[in-house]
Structure 1
Protein backbone atom coordinates (compact mmCIF):
# COMPACT_ATOMS: atom_id res chain seq x y z
CA UNK A 1 0.00 0.00 0.00
CA UNK A 2 1.09 3.62 -0.43
CA UNK A 3 2.61 5.73 2.32
CA UNK A 4 0.68 7.66 4.90
CA UNK A 5 -1.35 10.56 3.54
CA UNK A 6 0.05 13.83 4.85
CA UNK A 7 -2.46 15.85 6.82
CA UNK A 8 -2.64 19.65 6.83
CA UNK A 9 -0.76 21.38 9.64
CA UNK A 10 -1.50 24.30 11.95
CA UNK A 11 0.18 27.49 10.68
CA UNK A 12 1.04 28.47 14.28
CA UNK A 13 2.27 25.33 16.06
CA UNK A 14 2.82 22.95 13.12
CA UNK A 15 0.57 20.24 14.54
CA UNK A 16 -1.06 17.93 12.01
CA UNK A 17 -4.85 18.18 12.00
CA UNK A 18 -7.56 16.35 10.12
CA UNK A 19 -10.11 19.20 10.22
CA UNK A 20 -8.30 22.56 10.16
CA UNK A 21 -10.01 25.82 11.10
CA UNK A 22 -9.63 28.72 8.66
CA UNK A 23 -9.30 32.19 10.23
CA UNK A 24 -11.67 34.62 8.54
CA UNK A 25 -9.34 37.55 9.29
CA UNK A 26 -5.94 36.32 8.04
CA UNK A 27 -6.93 33.24 5.99
CA UNK A 28 -4.57 30.87 7.84
CA UNK A 29 -5.29 27.27 8.84
CA UNK A 30 -5.12 26.41 12.54
CA UNK A 31 -5.78 23.64 15.03
CA UNK A 32 -8.60 23.89 17.57
CA UNK A 33 -6.24 25.33 20.19
CA UNK A 34 -5.04 28.22 17.99
CA UNK A 35 -8.10 28.89 15.83
CA UNK A 36 -9.05 32.17 17.57
CA UNK A 37 -7.31 35.38 16.39
CA UNK A 38 -5.77 36.06 19.83
CA UNK A 39 -4.32 32.54 19.98
CA UNK A 40 -2.25 32.80 16.77
CA UNK A 41 -1.28 36.50 16.85
CA UNK A 42 -3.54 37.18 13.89
CA UNK A 43 -2.32 39.96 11.60
CA UNK A 44 -5.91 41.02 11.13
CA UNK A 45 -6.39 42.03 14.78
CA UNK A 46 -5.05 45.54 14.22
CA UNK A 47 -7.45 45.96 11.29
CA UNK A 48 -10.35 44.69 13.41
CA UNK A 49 -9.43 47.13 16.17
CA UNK A 50 -9.10 50.01 13.71
CA UNK A 51 -12.49 49.31 12.13
CA UNK A 52 -14.09 49.00 15.56
CA UNK A 53 -12.74 52.40 16.59
CA UNK A 54 -13.89 53.99 13.33
CA UNK A 55 -17.37 52.66 14.01
CA UNK A 56 -17.33 54.16 17.49
CA UNK A 57 -16.61 50.97 19.43
CA UNK A 58 -13.63 49.14 20.83
CA UNK A 59 -12.66 45.59 19.92
CA UNK A 60 -12.39 43.73 23.23
CA UNK A 61 -11.32 40.31 22.03
CA UNK A 62 -13.16 37.01 21.89
CA UNK A 63 -16.36 36.39 23.81
CA UNK A 64 -16.43 34.79 27.22
CA UNK A 65 -18.22 31.75 25.76
CA UNK A 66 -15.31 31.07 23.45
CA UNK A 67 -12.79 31.74 26.21
CA UNK A 68 -14.42 29.08 28.38
CA UNK A 69 -14.51 26.54 25.59
CA UNK A 70 -11.85 23.90 26.08
CA UNK A 71 -9.66 23.18 23.02
CA UNK A 72 -9.92 19.69 21.63
CA UNK A 73 -6.79 17.59 21.89
CA UNK A 74 -5.97 14.57 19.80
CA UNK A 75 -6.45 11.45 21.91
CA UNK A 76 -3.23 9.52 22.65
CA UNK A 77 -4.66 6.37 21.07
CA UNK A 78 -6.09 8.06 17.98
CA UNK A 79 -4.97 6.64 14.64
CA UNK A 80 -3.94 8.74 11.68
CA UNK A 81 -5.08 7.64 8.25
CA UNK A 82 -2.66 5.13 6.74
CA UNK A 83 -0.38 5.09 9.79
CA UNK A 84 1.27 1.86 10.92
CA UNK A 85 0.87 0.77 14.55
CA UNK A 86 4.63 0.96 15.17
CA UNK A 87 4.79 4.52 13.78
CA UNK A 88 1.81 5.52 15.91
CA UNK A 89 3.54 4.40 19.10
CA UNK A 90 6.76 6.14 18.06
CA UNK A 91 4.90 9.33 17.25
CA UNK A 92 3.24 9.36 20.63
CA UNK A 93 6.59 9.18 22.42
CA UNK A 94 8.20 11.93 20.35
CA UNK A 95 5.16 14.18 20.65
CA UNK A 96 5.21 13.86 24.42
CA UNK A 97 8.90 14.73 24.56
CA UNK A 98 8.43 17.89 22.53
CA UNK A 99 5.29 18.88 24.43
CA UNK A 100 7.07 18.59 27.78
CA UNK A 101 10.07 20.50 26.43
CA UNK A 102 8.27 23.47 24.94
CA UNK A 103 5.61 23.73 27.62
CA UNK A 104 8.33 24.29 30.20
CA UNK A 105 10.75 27.14 30.79
CA UNK A 106 12.22 26.91 27.29
CA UNK A 107 8.85 27.48 25.69
CA UNK A 108 8.17 30.38 28.04
CA UNK A 109 11.45 32.09 27.13
CA UNK A 110 10.88 31.48 23.42
CA UNK A 111 7.41 33.01 23.56
CA UNK A 112 8.58 35.93 25.73
CA UNK A 113 11.40 37.03 23.43
CA UNK A 114 9.82 36.37 20.02
CA UNK A 115 6.19 37.35 20.53
CA UNK A 116 6.90 41.03 21.27
CA UNK A 117 9.08 43.38 19.21
CA UNK A 118 10.35 45.12 22.36
CA UNK A 119 11.69 41.89 23.82
CA UNK A 120 13.10 40.84 20.43
CA UNK A 121 15.02 44.14 20.34
CA UNK A 122 16.30 43.48 23.86
CA UNK A 123 17.40 39.97 22.90
CA UNK A 124 19.21 41.36 19.84
CA UNK A 125 21.12 43.82 22.03
CA UNK A 126 22.21 41.00 24.34
CA UNK A 127 23.31 38.73 21.49
CA UNK A 128 25.26 41.52 19.77
CA UNK A 129 27.05 42.27 23.05
CA UNK A 130 28.15 38.65 23.37
CA UNK A 131 29.36 38.88 19.78
CA UNK A 132 31.37 41.97 20.76
CA UNK A 133 33.03 40.06 23.59
CA UNK A 134 34.04 37.29 21.20
CA UNK A 135 35.39 39.82 18.69
CA UNK A 136 37.40 41.58 21.41
CA UNK A 137 39.02 38.32 22.46
CA UNK A 138 39.81 37.23 18.92
CA UNK A 139 40.89 40.55 17.36
CA UNK A 140 42.64 42.26 20.26
CA UNK A 141 43.77 45.76 19.22
CA UNK A 142 42.21 45.23 15.78
CA UNK A 143 38.80 45.39 17.46
CA UNK A 144 39.05 49.15 18.04
CA UNK A 145 41.91 51.59 17.79
CA UNK A 146 40.90 55.29 17.74
CA UNK A 147 41.58 56.95 14.36
CA UNK A 148 42.37 53.59 12.75
CA UNK A 149 39.25 53.40 10.60
CA UNK A 150 40.05 49.89 9.43
CA UNK A 151 39.50 48.37 12.89
CA UNK A 152 36.39 46.32 13.52
CA UNK A 153 34.26 48.73 15.59
CA UNK A 154 34.28 51.39 12.86
CA UNK A 155 32.28 48.95 10.71
CA UNK A 156 29.57 48.73 13.41
CA UNK A 157 29.44 52.27 14.81
CA UNK A 158 29.56 55.63 12.98
CA UNK A 159 32.00 58.48 13.35
CA UNK A 160 32.13 61.80 11.49
CA UNK A 161 34.93 60.43 9.33
CA UNK A 162 33.16 57.18 8.33
CA UNK A 163 29.40 57.74 8.44
CA UNK A 164 29.09 58.78 4.78
CA UNK A 165 30.97 55.72 3.50
CA UNK A 166 29.39 53.34 6.02
CA UNK A 167 25.80 54.58 6.48
CA UNK A 168 24.56 51.22 7.81
CA UNK A 169 26.45 51.93 11.02
CA UNK A 170 23.70 54.38 12.03
CA UNK A 171 21.49 51.31 12.52
CA UNK A 172 23.98 48.68 13.69
CA UNK A 173 25.41 51.03 16.33
CA UNK A 174 22.07 51.04 18.14
CA UNK A 175 22.64 47.42 19.18
CA UNK A 176 26.33 47.87 20.08
CA UNK A 177 27.31 48.90 23.62
CA UNK A 178 30.45 50.09 25.32
CA UNK A 179 30.33 47.67 28.24
CA UNK A 180 28.13 45.55 30.46
CA UNK A 181 26.91 48.47 32.59
CA UNK A 182 25.96 50.42 29.46
CA UNK A 183 23.97 47.43 28.17
CA UNK A 184 22.39 46.75 31.57
CA UNK A 185 21.00 50.29 31.97
CA UNK A 186 19.55 50.38 28.46
CA UNK A 187 18.25 46.84 28.79
CA UNK A 188 16.43 47.55 32.07
CA UNK A 189 14.74 50.65 30.64
CA UNK A 190 13.72 48.84 27.45
CA UNK A 191 12.39 45.91 29.45
CA UNK A 192 10.12 48.10 31.58
CA UNK A 193 8.83 50.59 28.98
CA UNK A 194 8.98 48.70 25.67
CA UNK A 195 5.78 46.67 25.90
CA UNK A 196 3.46 49.56 26.80
CA UNK A 197 3.92 51.56 23.56
CA UNK A 198 3.95 48.36 21.47
CA UNK A 199 0.44 47.53 22.70
CA UNK A 200 -0.68 50.98 21.61
CA UNK A 201 1.01 51.44 18.23
CA UNK A 202 1.78 47.87 17.14
CA UNK A 203 4.87 45.78 16.46
CA UNK A 204 5.96 47.32 13.14
CA UNK A 205 5.57 50.93 14.24
CA UNK A 206 7.58 50.27 17.40
CA UNK A 207 10.48 48.83 15.38
CA UNK A 208 10.28 51.79 12.96
CA UNK A 209 10.28 54.26 15.85
CA UNK A 210 13.17 52.54 17.63
CA UNK A 211 15.45 52.47 14.57
CA UNK A 212 14.54 55.95 13.35
CA UNK A 213 15.02 57.62 16.73
CA UNK A 214 18.33 55.80 17.25
CA UNK A 215 19.70 56.74 13.82
CA UNK A 216 18.69 60.41 14.07
CA UNK A 217 20.04 60.66 17.61
CA UNK A 218 23.42 59.34 16.45
CA UNK A 219 23.50 61.81 13.55
CA UNK A 220 22.88 64.75 15.86
CA UNK A 221 25.49 63.62 18.38
CA UNK A 222 28.12 63.27 15.63
CA UNK A 223 27.94 67.02 15.07
CA UNK A 224 29.27 67.69 18.57
CA UNK A 225 32.18 65.26 18.92
CA UNK A 226 35.64 64.82 17.35
CA UNK A 227 35.65 63.15 13.93
CA UNK A 228 37.34 59.91 15.06
CA UNK A 229 35.03 59.15 18.01
CA UNK A 230 32.35 56.50 17.46
CA UNK A 231 28.74 56.69 18.64
CA UNK A 232 27.16 53.52 19.99
CA UNK A 233 24.29 52.39 22.24
CA UNK A 234 20.49 52.28 22.25
CA UNK A 235 19.92 55.26 24.58
CA UNK A 236 18.65 57.62 21.87
CA UNK A 237 16.37 54.93 20.42
CA UNK A 238 14.95 54.02 23.83
CA UNK A 239 14.30 57.66 24.67
CA UNK A 240 12.45 57.91 21.37
CA UNK A 241 10.19 55.09 22.56
CA UNK A 242 9.79 56.87 25.91
CA UNK A 243 8.86 60.14 24.15
CA UNK A 244 6.17 58.48 22.04
CA UNK A 245 4.71 56.71 25.07
CA UNK A 246 4.66 60.05 26.91
CA UNK A 247 2.51 61.60 24.19
CA UNK A 248 0.12 58.65 24.10
CA UNK A 249 -0.16 58.02 27.86
CA UNK A 250 1.19 61.10 29.72
CA UNK A 251 -0.47 60.20 33.02
CA UNK A 252 0.88 56.65 33.16
CA UNK A 253 2.42 56.15 36.63
CA UNK A 254 6.10 55.16 36.57
CA UNK A 255 8.46 54.49 39.51
CA UNK A 256 11.44 56.87 39.56
CA UNK A 257 14.47 54.96 40.90
CA UNK A 258 12.05 51.97 41.14
CA UNK A 259 10.11 53.29 44.15
CA UNK A 260 9.13 57.00 43.71
CA UNK A 261 5.81 57.13 41.77
CA UNK A 262 5.26 59.97 39.30
CA UNK A 263 3.36 60.54 36.03
CA UNK A 264 5.28 59.71 32.87
CA UNK A 265 5.13 63.26 31.48
CA UNK A 266 6.96 64.57 34.53
CA UNK A 267 9.74 62.01 34.14
CA UNK A 268 10.14 62.80 30.43
CA UNK A 269 10.15 66.55 31.08
CA UNK A 270 12.74 66.24 33.83
CA UNK A 271 15.03 64.00 31.82
CA UNK A 272 14.67 66.19 28.73
CA UNK A 273 15.62 69.31 30.69
CA UNK A 274 18.58 67.52 32.29
CA UNK A 275 19.86 66.33 28.90
CA UNK A 276 19.48 69.81 27.40
CA UNK A 277 21.50 71.39 30.22
CA UNK A 278 24.20 68.73 29.89
CA UNK A 279 24.39 69.26 26.14
CA UNK A 280 24.57 73.07 26.33
CA UNK A 281 27.19 73.03 29.10
CA UNK A 282 29.39 70.54 27.27
CA UNK A 283 29.33 68.16 30.23
CA UNK A 284 28.60 64.46 30.10
CA UNK A 285 31.96 62.86 29.39
CA UNK A 286 31.39 59.64 27.46
CA UNK A 287 27.60 60.11 27.69
CA UNK A 288 25.97 61.61 24.59
CA UNK A 289 23.47 64.15 25.96
CA UNK A 290 22.62 65.48 22.50
CA UNK A 291 21.78 61.95 21.37
CA UNK A 292 19.53 61.50 24.40
CA UNK A 293 17.81 64.84 23.95
CA UNK A 294 17.30 64.47 20.19
CA UNK A 295 16.03 60.89 20.59
CA UNK A 296 13.44 62.11 23.08
CA UNK A 297 12.38 64.93 20.72
CA UNK A 298 11.97 62.47 17.83
CA UNK A 299 9.80 60.26 20.04
CA UNK A 300 7.64 63.16 21.21
CA UNK A 301 7.16 64.32 17.62
CA UNK A 302 6.20 60.83 16.46
CA UNK A 303 3.81 60.41 19.39
CA UNK A 304 2.24 63.79 18.57
CA UNK A 305 1.77 62.68 14.96
CA UNK A 306 0.09 59.44 16.06
CA UNK A 307 -2.08 61.31 18.52
CA UNK A 308 -3.24 63.79 15.86
CA UNK A 309 -3.93 60.91 13.50
CA UNK A 310 -6.04 59.30 16.22
CA UNK A 311 -8.02 62.48 16.75
CA UNK A 312 -8.71 62.98 13.08
CA UNK A 313 -9.80 59.37 12.59
CA UNK A 314 -11.88 58.90 15.73
CA UNK A 315 -14.14 61.88 16.04
CA UNK A 316 -11.80 64.12 18.06
CA UNK A 317 -10.92 61.62 20.80
CA UNK A 318 -7.72 59.58 20.85
CA UNK A 319 -8.46 56.08 22.12
CA UNK A 320 -5.50 53.70 21.89
CA UNK A 321 -6.21 49.94 21.92
CA UNK A 322 -6.86 48.68 25.41
CA UNK A 323 -4.29 46.53 27.11
CA UNK A 324 -2.30 46.21 30.28
CA UNK A 325 0.65 48.61 30.55
Structure 2
Protein backbone atom coordinates (compact mmCIF):
# COMPACT_ATOMS: atom_id res chain seq x y z
CA UNK A 1 0.00 0.00 0.00
CA UNK A 2 1.45 3.36 -1.03
CA UNK A 3 1.77 6.03 1.63
CA UNK A 4 0.49 9.52 0.70
CA UNK A 5 3.10 12.17 0.01
CA UNK A 6 2.54 15.90 0.49
CA UNK A 7 4.29 18.15 -2.05
CA UNK A 8 6.17 20.91 -0.23
CA UNK A 9 5.61 23.31 -3.15
CA UNK A 10 1.86 23.05 -3.76
CA UNK A 11 0.77 21.04 -0.67
CA UNK A 12 -1.13 18.51 -2.78
CA UNK A 13 -1.19 14.77 -1.96
CA UNK A 14 0.30 12.19 -4.35
CA UNK A 15 1.31 8.57 -4.50
CA UNK A 16 4.96 7.54 -4.46
CA UNK A 17 5.10 7.48 -8.26
CA UNK A 18 3.96 11.11 -8.53
CA UNK A 19 5.43 12.55 -5.34
CA UNK A 20 8.18 14.57 -7.08
CA UNK A 21 7.23 18.03 -8.45
CA UNK A 22 8.37 17.02 -11.94
CA UNK A 23 6.01 14.03 -11.90
CA UNK A 24 2.79 15.95 -11.24
CA UNK A 25 3.40 19.26 -13.09
CA UNK A 26 3.68 21.14 -9.80
CA UNK A 27 2.40 24.73 -10.23
CA UNK A 28 4.29 26.01 -7.19
CA UNK A 29 7.77 24.95 -8.19
CA UNK A 30 8.36 27.65 -10.80
CA UNK A 31 7.27 30.33 -8.31
CA UNK A 32 9.67 29.05 -5.67
CA UNK A 33 12.51 28.87 -8.20
CA UNK A 34 11.79 32.44 -9.32
CA UNK A 35 11.98 33.70 -5.74
CA UNK A 36 15.21 31.79 -5.20
CA UNK A 37 16.73 33.35 -8.32
CA UNK A 38 15.79 36.80 -7.07
CA UNK A 39 17.45 36.16 -3.70
CA UNK A 40 20.59 34.94 -5.43
CA UNK A 41 20.59 37.93 -7.78
CA UNK A 42 20.25 40.42 -4.95
CA UNK A 43 22.69 38.58 -2.70
CA UNK A 44 20.13 38.67 0.11
CA UNK A 45 20.07 35.74 2.60
CA UNK A 46 16.31 36.00 3.07
CA UNK A 47 13.86 33.16 3.58
CA UNK A 48 10.58 32.59 1.79
CA UNK A 49 7.39 33.71 3.48
CA UNK A 50 3.79 32.83 2.74
CA UNK A 51 2.55 34.50 -0.43
CA UNK A 52 5.99 35.14 -1.94
CA UNK A 53 8.85 37.52 -1.20
CA UNK A 54 11.32 37.14 1.61
CA UNK A 55 12.21 38.44 5.05
CA UNK A 56 15.56 39.24 6.61
CA UNK A 57 17.19 36.27 8.30
CA UNK A 58 20.56 37.84 9.09
CA UNK A 59 22.52 41.03 8.32
CA UNK A 60 23.83 41.20 4.77
CA UNK A 61 26.82 43.40 5.42
CA UNK A 62 27.49 47.12 5.38
CA UNK A 63 27.69 49.82 2.75
CA UNK A 64 25.22 50.51 -0.01
CA UNK A 65 23.81 46.96 0.08
CA UNK A 66 24.05 46.51 3.86
CA UNK A 67 21.37 46.94 6.53
CA UNK A 68 22.21 50.61 6.95
CA UNK A 69 22.95 51.26 3.28
CA UNK A 70 20.97 53.09 0.66
CA UNK A 71 19.85 50.02 -1.24
CA UNK A 72 18.56 48.36 1.93
CA UNK A 73 16.16 51.28 2.30
CA UNK A 74 15.14 51.11 -1.37
CA UNK A 75 14.70 47.34 -1.52
CA UNK A 76 11.01 46.60 -1.98
CA UNK A 77 10.15 50.32 -1.91
CA UNK A 78 11.34 51.56 -5.31
CA UNK A 79 7.81 52.35 -6.48
CA UNK A 80 7.18 54.45 -3.38
CA UNK A 81 10.37 56.44 -3.84
CA UNK A 82 9.65 56.93 -7.53
CA UNK A 83 6.33 58.49 -6.53
CA UNK A 84 8.15 60.74 -4.06
CA UNK A 85 10.62 61.65 -6.82
CA UNK A 86 8.04 62.74 -9.40
CA UNK A 87 6.19 64.81 -6.79
CA UNK A 88 9.43 66.36 -5.53
CA UNK A 89 10.64 67.21 -9.02
CA UNK A 90 7.26 68.77 -9.81
CA UNK A 91 7.64 71.03 -6.78
CA UNK A 92 11.03 72.14 -8.13
CA UNK A 93 9.49 72.68 -11.57
CA UNK A 94 6.81 74.88 -10.04
CA UNK A 95 9.44 77.02 -8.33
CA UNK A 96 11.25 77.52 -11.63
CA UNK A 97 8.10 77.92 -13.71
CA UNK A 98 5.13 79.03 -11.53
CA UNK A 99 2.83 78.97 -14.55
CA UNK A 100 2.58 75.19 -14.13
CA UNK A 101 0.32 75.88 -11.14
CA UNK A 102 -0.91 79.44 -11.48
CA UNK A 103 -1.19 79.94 -15.22
CA UNK A 104 0.91 83.09 -14.99
CA UNK A 105 4.49 83.84 -13.96
CA UNK A 106 7.80 85.49 -14.83
CA UNK A 107 7.57 84.67 -18.54
CA UNK A 108 10.15 83.78 -21.18
CA UNK A 109 13.20 83.77 -18.92
CA UNK A 110 11.61 81.26 -16.55
CA UNK A 111 10.53 79.14 -19.50
CA UNK A 112 14.09 79.00 -20.85
CA UNK A 113 15.41 77.93 -17.46
CA UNK A 114 12.66 75.31 -17.20
CA UNK A 115 13.60 73.85 -20.59
CA UNK A 116 17.29 73.93 -19.68
CA UNK A 117 16.72 71.95 -16.48
CA UNK A 118 13.90 69.54 -17.29
CA UNK A 119 13.05 69.16 -21.00
CA UNK A 120 14.78 66.55 -23.16
CA UNK A 121 15.22 67.73 -26.74
CA UNK A 122 17.48 67.19 -29.75
CA UNK A 123 20.27 69.19 -28.08
CA UNK A 124 20.32 66.95 -25.02
CA UNK A 125 24.11 66.43 -25.17
CA UNK A 126 24.54 70.06 -24.13
CA UNK A 127 22.42 69.36 -21.03
CA UNK A 128 22.85 65.61 -20.37
CA UNK A 129 21.10 65.76 -16.99
CA UNK A 130 17.80 66.08 -18.85
CA UNK A 131 18.11 62.40 -19.78
CA UNK A 132 16.96 61.74 -16.20
CA UNK A 133 15.26 64.94 -15.09
CA UNK A 134 12.89 64.74 -18.05
CA UNK A 135 11.73 61.29 -16.90
CA UNK A 136 10.65 62.61 -13.50
CA UNK A 137 9.35 66.00 -14.65
CA UNK A 138 5.75 66.63 -15.76
CA UNK A 139 3.92 69.30 -17.69
CA UNK A 140 1.15 69.98 -15.19
CA UNK A 141 -0.89 68.61 -12.30
CA UNK A 142 -3.05 66.48 -14.58
CA UNK A 143 -0.01 64.91 -16.22
CA UNK A 144 1.50 64.19 -12.80
CA UNK A 145 -1.75 62.83 -11.36
CA UNK A 146 -2.55 60.36 -14.14
CA UNK A 147 1.02 59.04 -14.35
CA UNK A 148 1.14 58.78 -10.56
CA UNK A 149 -2.05 56.70 -10.55
CA UNK A 150 -0.64 54.25 -13.08
CA UNK A 151 2.66 53.98 -11.18
CA UNK A 152 0.85 53.52 -7.85
CA UNK A 153 -1.27 50.61 -9.06
CA UNK A 154 1.01 48.79 -11.49
CA UNK A 155 4.50 49.50 -10.12
CA UNK A 156 4.32 47.45 -6.89
CA UNK A 157 2.97 44.39 -8.71
CA UNK A 158 5.90 44.20 -11.12
CA UNK A 159 8.48 45.24 -8.51
CA UNK A 160 7.40 42.45 -6.16
CA UNK A 161 7.44 39.93 -8.99
CA UNK A 162 10.85 40.58 -10.57
CA UNK A 163 12.68 42.37 -7.75
CA UNK A 164 13.53 45.98 -7.05
CA UNK A 165 16.78 46.21 -9.02
CA UNK A 166 15.40 44.88 -12.32
CA UNK A 167 12.28 47.00 -11.82
CA UNK A 168 14.28 50.20 -11.29
CA UNK A 169 16.47 49.33 -14.27
CA UNK A 170 13.42 48.89 -16.48
CA UNK A 171 11.90 52.20 -15.37
CA UNK A 172 15.08 54.20 -15.96
CA UNK A 173 15.96 52.47 -19.24
CA UNK A 174 12.39 52.77 -20.48
CA UNK A 175 12.16 56.45 -19.62
CA UNK A 176 15.49 57.43 -21.15
CA UNK A 177 15.17 55.29 -24.29
CA UNK A 178 11.60 56.47 -24.90
CA UNK A 179 12.58 60.13 -24.68
CA UNK A 180 15.66 59.75 -26.86
CA UNK A 181 13.70 57.90 -29.54
CA UNK A 182 11.02 60.60 -29.63
CA UNK A 183 13.34 63.59 -29.99
CA UNK A 184 15.81 61.84 -32.33
CA UNK A 185 13.12 60.64 -34.73
CA UNK A 186 11.40 64.00 -34.99
CA UNK A 187 14.61 65.98 -35.45
CA UNK A 188 16.30 63.51 -37.82
CA UNK A 189 13.47 62.28 -40.03
CA UNK A 190 10.85 65.02 -39.79
CA UNK A 191 13.06 68.05 -39.19
CA UNK A 192 10.88 69.13 -36.28
CA UNK A 193 11.85 70.30 -32.82
CA UNK A 194 10.42 68.03 -30.15
CA UNK A 195 10.80 68.22 -26.38
CA UNK A 196 9.60 65.54 -23.97
CA UNK A 197 9.11 65.17 -20.26
CA UNK A 198 7.23 62.71 -18.10
CA UNK A 199 7.48 59.14 -16.85
CA UNK A 200 4.89 57.87 -19.35
CA UNK A 201 7.42 55.99 -21.51
CA UNK A 202 8.76 54.19 -18.46
CA UNK A 203 5.23 53.31 -17.34
CA UNK A 204 4.48 51.83 -20.75
CA UNK A 205 7.57 49.65 -20.26
CA UNK A 206 6.16 48.51 -16.91
CA UNK A 207 2.79 47.73 -18.47
CA UNK A 208 4.44 45.87 -21.35
CA UNK A 209 6.42 43.65 -19.00
CA UNK A 210 3.38 43.00 -16.80
CA UNK A 211 1.29 42.10 -19.83
CA UNK A 212 3.75 39.41 -20.89
CA UNK A 213 4.14 38.04 -17.36
CA UNK A 214 0.43 38.15 -16.50
CA UNK A 215 -1.83 38.87 -19.48
CA UNK A 216 -4.80 37.44 -17.55
CA UNK A 217 -4.49 39.94 -14.67
CA UNK A 218 -7.81 41.72 -14.23
CA UNK A 219 -7.93 45.51 -14.23
CA UNK A 220 -10.77 47.94 -13.69
CA UNK A 221 -10.73 50.50 -16.49
CA UNK A 222 -11.87 53.85 -15.10
CA UNK A 223 -12.21 51.90 -11.81
CA UNK A 224 -15.45 50.41 -13.18
CA UNK A 225 -15.04 48.29 -16.33
CA UNK A 226 -13.36 44.89 -15.74
CA UNK A 227 -10.93 43.74 -18.43
CA UNK A 228 -7.79 41.59 -18.76
CA UNK A 229 -4.52 43.49 -18.66
CA UNK A 230 -3.67 42.51 -22.24
CA UNK A 231 -6.79 44.32 -23.47
CA UNK A 232 -5.90 47.49 -21.57
CA UNK A 233 -2.35 47.44 -22.92
CA UNK A 234 -3.62 46.80 -26.44
CA UNK A 235 -5.93 49.79 -26.07
CA UNK A 236 -3.05 52.02 -25.00
CA UNK A 237 -0.92 50.80 -27.92
CA UNK A 238 -3.71 51.37 -30.44
CA UNK A 239 -4.33 54.92 -29.22
CA UNK A 240 -0.63 55.73 -29.37
CA UNK A 241 -0.20 54.19 -32.81
CA UNK A 242 -3.16 56.15 -34.18
CA UNK A 243 -1.89 59.32 -32.52
CA UNK A 244 1.59 58.84 -33.95
CA UNK A 245 0.37 58.13 -37.48
CA UNK A 246 -2.08 61.00 -37.28
CA UNK A 247 0.51 63.44 -36.02
CA UNK A 248 -1.37 64.19 -32.81
CA UNK A 249 0.38 66.93 -30.87
CA UNK A 250 0.85 67.32 -27.16
CA UNK A 251 1.46 63.62 -26.47
CA UNK A 252 4.75 61.78 -27.07
CA UNK A 253 3.15 58.80 -28.81
CA UNK A 254 6.41 57.43 -30.20
CA UNK A 255 7.98 57.58 -26.73
CA UNK A 256 5.07 55.55 -25.35
CA UNK A 257 5.39 52.94 -28.09
CA UNK A 258 9.15 52.71 -27.54
CA UNK A 259 8.68 52.12 -23.82
CA UNK A 260 6.04 49.49 -24.53
CA UNK A 261 8.34 47.65 -26.95
CA UNK A 262 11.14 47.59 -24.38
CA UNK A 263 8.76 46.33 -21.70
CA UNK A 264 7.42 43.55 -23.91
CA UNK A 265 10.96 42.40 -24.70
CA UNK A 266 12.02 42.49 -21.05
CA UNK A 267 8.83 40.74 -19.99
CA UNK A 268 9.44 37.95 -22.48
CA UNK A 269 12.92 37.37 -21.07
CA UNK A 270 11.63 37.33 -17.49
CA UNK A 271 8.86 34.95 -18.49
CA UNK A 272 11.46 32.56 -19.89
CA UNK A 273 13.27 32.79 -16.54
CA UNK A 274 10.16 31.70 -14.64
CA UNK A 275 8.69 35.01 -13.46
CA UNK A 276 5.28 34.59 -15.08
CA UNK A 277 2.26 35.11 -12.83
CA UNK A 278 0.26 31.97 -12.00
CA UNK A 279 -3.17 31.79 -13.59
CA UNK A 280 -5.12 32.73 -10.51
CA UNK A 281 -7.37 35.73 -9.97
CA UNK A 282 -5.39 38.94 -9.56
CA UNK A 283 -7.11 42.29 -9.85
CA UNK A 284 -5.80 45.83 -10.07
CA UNK A 285 -8.08 48.79 -9.58
CA UNK A 286 -6.39 50.86 -12.25
CA UNK A 287 -7.80 53.33 -14.72
CA UNK A 288 -7.24 53.69 -18.42
CA UNK A 289 -6.27 57.33 -18.35
CA UNK A 290 -4.03 59.18 -20.78
CA UNK A 291 -1.24 61.47 -19.70
CA UNK A 292 -0.50 64.75 -21.40
TM-score of the pair, normalised by structure 2? 0.65
Structure 2 unaligned regions, length at least 5: 1-31, 41-46, 56-72, 99-104, 284-292
Shift of 1:170: 1.6
Matched, 1:142 2:103: no
What residue in structure 1 maps to residue 37 of structure 2?
50
Residue by residue over 1:75-96, the C-alpha shift from the partner in whole angstroms, topping out at 9 and shown as x without a partner, is xxxxxxxxxxxxxxxxxxxxxx
Partner of 1:259: 224
Q: Is the contact made by 1:113 and 1:123 (CA closer than 8 Å) also made in structure 2?
A: no
Name 2:269's counterpart in structure 1: 305
Q: Map 1:130-209; keep pairs closer than 5 Å.
A: 130-137=91-98, 140-145=107-112, 151-160=113-122, 162-209=123-170
The question of whether the paired residues in 2 share the 8 Å contact of 1:154 and 1:230 is answered with no
Q: Match of 1:262, SS?
A: strand
- Name the SS of the counterpart of 1:194 in structure 2: helix
Q: Which residue of 1 aligns with 2:244?
A: 279
Q: Is the 8 A contact 2:33 2:274 kept in 1?
A: no
Could you say what secondary structure the match of 1:184 adopts? helix
Please give the secondary structure, in 1, of the residue aligned with 2:274.
Answer: helix
TM superposition shift of 1:309: 2.6
Q: Which residue of 2 aligns with 1:73?
A: none
Partner of 1:243: 208
Give the whole-Å Cα distance in 2 for the aligned partners of 1:128 and 1:121: 10
**Contact 1:171-1:215 at 8 Å conserved across structures:** yes
SS in 2 for 1:144: helix
The answer to whether the Cα contact below 8 Å between 2:219 and 2:227 also exists between their aligned partners in 1 is yes
Instruction: Tell me, yes or no, if the aligned pair for 1:247 and 1:300 is still in contact at 8 Å.
Output: yes
CA distance in 1 between partners of 2:36 and 2:209 (Å): 20
Residue 49 of structure 2 aligns with which residue? 61
- State the aligned residue count: 214
Contact 1:240 1:296 in 2 (8 A): yes
TM-score, L = length of structure 1? 0.59
Of residues 82, 99, 109 in structure 2, which corresponds to 1:121? 82
What's the offset of the Cα at 1:154? 2.0
Shift of 1:51: 8.4
Q: Which has the higher contact order (CA 8 A, sep 6+)?
A: 2
